[in-house]
Structure 1
């Protein structure tokens, strides 16, 4: 019988598998996706948010624990477990050497307007390179890996894991029989339910306009996260945490593909202009804070607008100050022409832009800091980087909500154990997006999802190996002990 069964194939699952194997446990990892799509949402990531008290290798200046905590507290509005959040924050300071030992490389510090050279460590080659490095290391260490192996049921004896079930299936024209896989312990790291349209519809329901908002969502993340195991565990009585409508939801290009658009579908010029809905009206402060701290609120904001669409509007002055999107914007030499091309009500749109332009105050525009350029006399206000949109050509980018991962998950503690009726399971653990809601009740800040997955993946792997009778060989291997 295998010691540790890991269900999932992204960052958290791989961290768990590697830690369990390093502790001496036999490990089987089941990835539901084909090999070409392995890695879940982790393949679309770029960086890891890291606490550090002083400059460290690829990180400049300092990003101390309290600042990280305050950033998280602000974006979540206090909807976070402080003990688990601080555990993640501390773990983010000492994981990079371990990551490097498994083949992960980091870029030199970045500089510029995104303000992430201080807070985030970027993976050389992005998330796909990180995932590939972990898989190579897992194979080298003897972790058994199976692809096209979607687990659709979990067998429990009370609160104890017994076996995982895979239904009969066809892969590349070949039939595979149903399977029952036993293991001494199990780590669940199979992601949320963002690609389950019916569950999204159930969560979001019908709005006051008679629309089903979820029908207009794009899935920025992987198509394979359908929440089957999350639903099974909930039905089996596992304790849950989080709001099913809360998610890492980004306003992405409305022309993006339905699934797996990833980072490149983001529209990063929001803070440099204004955003209007399909009625030509602004609806939120575009300059509230630096973009890495606020980009992930815009998907939910757009989801609350009519038809779940928005439009990011800039002028020539903004060009060159943000990462160019994959799809070109709609251009025009007048605001009237731009509104017409975007299908917006011309009179309402022009009135909105004229009111905004007249309200702009300040002449010390600086997108690299919270500057003094703001609006007065319009609602909503724009707090920073407010400049009149008055220099043609004008640009418009259509927006839709892009769901990366959902926050409804399994409640856990600092051992990563799944909980039933207030009691932690002795051999069933959870990591990654299936428990991220313990730390992220709402909101997001760049790179924190990877921080959560790395911390709890390592804890879950260590704890699962210990429950199967294997202890880490060194203190550095025991992540849960090192950061407790």
Structure 2
């Protein structure tokens, strides 16, 4: 009987955090591993290159993490930002896995550091990567190469051969690559403008909102495999195609790969107005790491998909400064003119806000008692009059990080067809993050999901390659 010759045991499609975690796990289990990264080597790592930290559960102080951040608090934070659109079982599995994975990450060259002073409120909840996401990606690639993982750059995959839910082969640049098992970790569709346009459609003003989106990360996440899986292979999917990790970023940011330095973090310290010089949401709703990712979507819903963050000199030094300086003016009417806003309406909005502020004990590190009264929308915390020149304004655009439409999974990370798990096809990272993130975001949780499910997928892909059944649940590590 002839034995089929496979090109590799485990094929990993993608080159970001989830893909690398899967590749390392599969290689540690003894599998031959081939990783296909669509980007050139210089742009490897996908959106993971732009990350900074990992949200971590812990019941007591742990190295760079202070105090405690127990499972229930983490879950409640996630529940609040998602509005309940999350799979609790999978979410709690990710949360628990986040408490012990750092030792494994360190083994593969990732180092951690305490948060910088500009990273407000996260010393207790988030472990920061020394050197940021680029250093993490480079460490994982070095470790993978050292362990013997074969890596091919500029190798996009455009289709898969699947029979009866079982992976057979992948096609890259006309080459058919066979493997005993496969992990899909090729990202969402955030850099596919056509798909974004299709998802968001045309609004009541006749605008196509997606035309004004800026992509915060990689230009290589086109969603080709995701669309192929959902449409050609009828894999089980979930999620709203308009839901995504979207942040309000500087309108001057580059179309791709601007990263975190283009984010505008002073929203909670002032007011935000649209192009009609009207406020449209509570800028002081909650701490910035929990609410910053709602602002991209809010701006996307405004006329022209643009808004303006307005602060005064009292805010300077209290937020992480972005890469571009704000527009500066000595008076508010001058600032309105420089921003191209109607001066009369702008001053009506600012005067109404300033007059409604009830200033108590201002504390930007707590949900303080500085709020507005008889104003809609209210500002519920950190409300202080904008009255101390010079004044600053930042034009904002929706910055899309990653999309939430994805493939449905269980705790084995298996791709499902007609609610039946594939025996040898698994998924991790952005392609399945919507199981945990139906909407909203909280800082660092994307890396928690990618790390947990990347490791699960890699472990189970190695087991499938060895003819063993998938194991349920997260990878166990020593705390």
TM tier, shorter chain?
A: over 0.9
Aligned counterpart in structure 2 of residue 102 of structure 1, from 108, 111, 118: 108
2:65–2:125: 8 Å Cα contact kept in structure 1? yes
**Counterpart position of 1:405:** 402
Aligned counterpart in structure 1 of residue 306 of structure 2, from 302, 309, 312: 309
1:105–1:123: 8 Å Cα contact kept in structure 2? yes
Equivalent positions of 1:308-387 (< 5 A) are 308-387=305-384
1:292–1:445: 8 Å Cα contact kept in structure 2? yes
**Counterpart position of 1:153:** 159
Q: CA deviation at 1:435?
A: 0.1
Give the RMSD, CA atoms, in angstroms.
1.4
- State the distance in 1 between where 2:334 and 2:114 align: 44
Q: CA deviation at 1:108?
A: 2.8
Whether 1:300 aligns to 2:297 is yes
- State the distance in 1 between where 2:377 and 2:119 align: 24
Q: Secondary structure at the match of 2:205?
A: coil
- State the distance in 1 between where 2:91 and 2:474 align: 15
Unaligned runs of 5+ in 1: 168-177
Instruction: Give 4+ residue runs of structure 1 displaced > 3 Å after superposition.
Output: 109-113, 478-483
- State the distance in 2 between where 1:115 and 1:181 align: 47
- State the distance in 2 between where 1:29 and 1:63 align: 35
**Counterpart position of 1:37:** 43
- State the distance in 1 between where 2:220 and 2:275 align: 31
**Counterpart position of 1:91:** 97
1:299–1:401: 8 Å Cα contact kept in structure 2? yes
Q: CA deviation at 1:158?
A: 1.9
- State the distance in 2 between where 1:78 and 1:256 align: 32
Aligned counterpart in structure 1 of residue 76 of structure 2, from 70, 76, 82: 70
2:165–2:417: 8 Å Cα contact kept in structure 1? yes
- State the distance in 1 between where 2:312 and 2:258 align: 26
For residues 480 and 96 of structure 1, do their structure 2 counterparts lie closer, same or farther at Cα, with a shift above 3 Å needed? closer
For residues 110 and 461 of structure 1, do their structure 2 counterparts lie closer, same or farther at Cα, with a shift above 3 Å needed? same
2:118–2:319: 8 Å Cα contact kept in structure 1? no
Q: CA deviation at 1:362?
A: 2.1
Deviations 1:60-103 (A, max 9, x none): 00000000000000000000000000000000001000000000
**Counterpart position of 2:3:** none
Q: Secondary structure at the match of 2:162?
A: strand
Whether 1:182 aligns to 2:188 is no
Aligned counterpart in structure 1 of residue 21 of structure 2, from 9, 15, 21: 15
Equivalent positions of 1:157-172 (< 5 A) are 157-167=163-173
**Counterpart position of 1:212:** 208
Q: Secondary structure at the match of 2:365?
A: coil
**Counterpart position of 1:197:** 193
Q: TM-score, normalised to structure 2's length?
A: 0.96
Q: CA deviation at 1:333?
A: 1.3
2:101–2:477: 8 Å Cα contact kept in structure 1? no
- State the distance in 2 between where 1:461 and 1:306 align: 45
Aligned counterpart in structure 1 of residue 273 of structure 2, from 251, 271, 276: 276
**Counterpart position of 2:131:** 125
**Counterpart position of 1:54:** 60
Deviations 1:336-388 (A, max 9, x none): 11111100111111100000000000231111111100000111000100000
Aligned counterpart in structure 2 of residue 230 of structure 1, from 195, 217, 226: 226
Unaligned runs of 5+ in 2: 1-5
Q: CA deviation at 1:111?
A: 5.3
Aligned length: 469
Q: CA deviation at 1:480?
A: 3.7
